[in-house]
Amino acid sequence: MEKIASLRGFRDISGEEAEKFVRIELVSRAIFELSGFREISIPILEKTELFKRSIGDTTDIVEKEMFTFIDRNGDSLTLRPEATAGVVRHYLQEALHARERISRLFTMGPMFRHERPQKGRFRQFHQVDVEIFGAAEPIVDAELLWMITRMLDRLAVKYYAIEVNSVGCKACREPFKEKLVAYFSEKKEALCPDCQNRLYRNPLRIFDCKSQACIELGKESPLIFDHLCENCRAHFETLTRYLAEFGVDPVFNKRLVRGLDYYTRTVFEVTSGELGAQKAFLAGGRYDNLVEEMGGPSVPGIGFAIGMERLALIMSSSQISKGLKYFLALIGDKAAAYRIPVIKALAERDIPISYSPNPKSLKSQMRHADSIGTDYVMILGEGELEKGIILVRNMRSGNQAELPLDTTSLAGRLQTLVLE
RNA sequence: GUGAGUGUAGCUCAGUUGGUUAGAGUACUGGGCUGUGGUCCCAGGCGUCGAGGGUUCGAAUCCCUUCACUCACCCCA
């Protein structure tokens, strides 16, 4: 029989990585709920149209990276490549704009993009997604960045950089695009083929290019940051003041742009040098027009997504001290009668208990106990049965003690046992 | 989608200019120690050498095809 393996880019999350995922989830909930966010869960599958309209028709994600298929009834469906679109859909579908002035939501789960996998990039990957609807003021931009630093602090992530920029609003972007196209058109021959194509479709993205020629040209080009309208400039300046008050110290990167069309004004990325080519493990920004463009009222929004796989890569190994572990070793059929009663008694008192399903020699059971990091082994055989006791051995020191063989009192006695 | 690199035991990897029965470490199981783990010693099982085809008396080794993984590009969390 041929073995069946998981699909390319679809992985099992296990071992240390799984523990880190749980820590990310726990810390996320703790931090975000403190700031008034509530957790929601939204579908993985949506109508393709939702993503086309929110992310943008001409983005790479929509053009070539979505898992899209035709359903039995002819609808085009897509596995979500990011979470914001679905959260906006939820916001409108539940009419949250009519029920509360500000909505603070977060969600977590798998996302899907049909890309070639590499370090820190997979076809199914996981994000924690955080969104605020209904607040245009720069204080929430600052608050989000501050929450991010608290979260990374709590997860003991030390070496990272927060990059911030403003990409302006409609009012300042259209005139700027014309300037940009004018600038690059003069030097079109020097651009790489990709960027020659980008020039008319999405000129802002030329700044993302890694080809040396385009980087050189980009150094001299006009920047959106230098052509912000008055309101956008004021927003950004207030943001920097608030960031200082929060004690957040970002890097201002005038060249930072994002791959999704809906961003306005504040955009940011958190990067780590340990991640290889995909150095951003968190990214987000403001999207003041998205809700309206999705058919809702004019409601501003801002949010970010954390790439859990990438974050896990830069988290140090967890050293959470777990409770003491116990192991039950049995010799002989008579002793085996105590197995289930003892296991039940300890588990009911929340004491971690393991055993060998097929107890052979005591030696083999001791090896088993040792291999799983047991702190105390309880030994029960003929001798103990005769004396009416159970032996408890401290696996670190080798010292042993005797306790009465009485399942109703055993758990309590173990909890108060002092055995150096 | 493009490029490069790598596929040999559960894991990490040796394997000479093609040569007989493919190895080591680790892990696992058992024993030395008949009721006591870790250290030590001994023993044991394990492989369709990624898959398919070709060259050859003979292929893990050379050639072709294919698949998978990894890294990078594009782009992105």
**What's A348's domain CATH number?**
3.40.50.800
Same domain, A331 and A310: no
Task: Give the end of a domain, one of A293, A314, A335.
Answer: A314
Is A271 in a helix, a strand, or coil? strand
Same domain, A145 and A263: yes
Q: Nearest-CA residue to the C1' of B2?
A: A116
Helix axis angle, A339-348 to A407-416, nearest 10°: 50
Same domain, A45 and A135: yes
Q: How many CB atoms lie within 10 A of CB A37?
A: 20
State how many domains chain A has: 2
| Triad A55, A49, A203: Cα angle to 5° | 30
The predicted structure's pLDDT at residue A103: 97
ipTM entry:
0.84
Is A128 part of any domain? yes
The predicted structure's pLDDT at residue A224: 87
- Give CA–CA dist A288/A51, Å, rounded: 17
The predicted structure's pLDDT at residue A208: 63
Same domain, A91 and A36: yes
Q: Which nucleotide is nearest to A375 (CA to C1')?
A: B37
- Give CA–CA dist A47/A181, Å, rounded: 34
Tokens 């009485």, located at residue? A406
Same domain, A111 and A164: yes
How distant is the alpha carbon of residue A18 from its chain centre?
A: 12
Q: Are A65 and A125 in contact (CB under 8 A)?
A: no
Same domain, A49 and A100: yes
Same domain, A298 and A380: no
Is A223 part of any domain? no
Side-by-side strand order, sheet with A161-166: A38-39, A103-112, A124-133, A301-307, A280-286, A264-271, A161-166, A251-252
CA/C1' separation A369–B37 (Å): 7
Is A271 part of any domain? yes
How distant is the alpha carbon of residue A15 from its chain centre?
A: 17
Tokens 């608030």, located at residue? A242
Q: Which nucleotide is nearest to A55 (CA to C1')?
A: B76
Strand B nucleotides where any atom sits below 7 Å of a protein CB: 1-3, 27-31, 33-38, 48, 68-77
Q: How many CB atoms lie within 10 A of CB A324?
A: 14
Q: Which amino acid is at A167?
A: V
Same domain, A30 and A141: yes
Is A267 part of any domain? yes
Is A49 part of any domain? yes
- Give CA–CA dist A338/A334, Å, rounded: 8
Same domain, A336 and A399: yes
Residues of chain A with pLDDT below 50 are none
Q: Which nucleotide is nearest to A195 (CA to C1')?
A: B74
- Give the H/E segment covering residue A90: helix A84-93
Task: Give the end of a domain, one of A258, A288, A314.
Answer: A314
Domain that holds residue A347: 326-413
Is A182 part of any domain? no
Q: Which nucleotide is nearest to A259 (CA to C1')?
A: B76
Same domain, A285 and A353: no
Is A215 part of any domain? no
Same domain, A267 and A402: no
CA/C1' separation A18–B67 (Å): 29
Same domain, A307 and A347: no
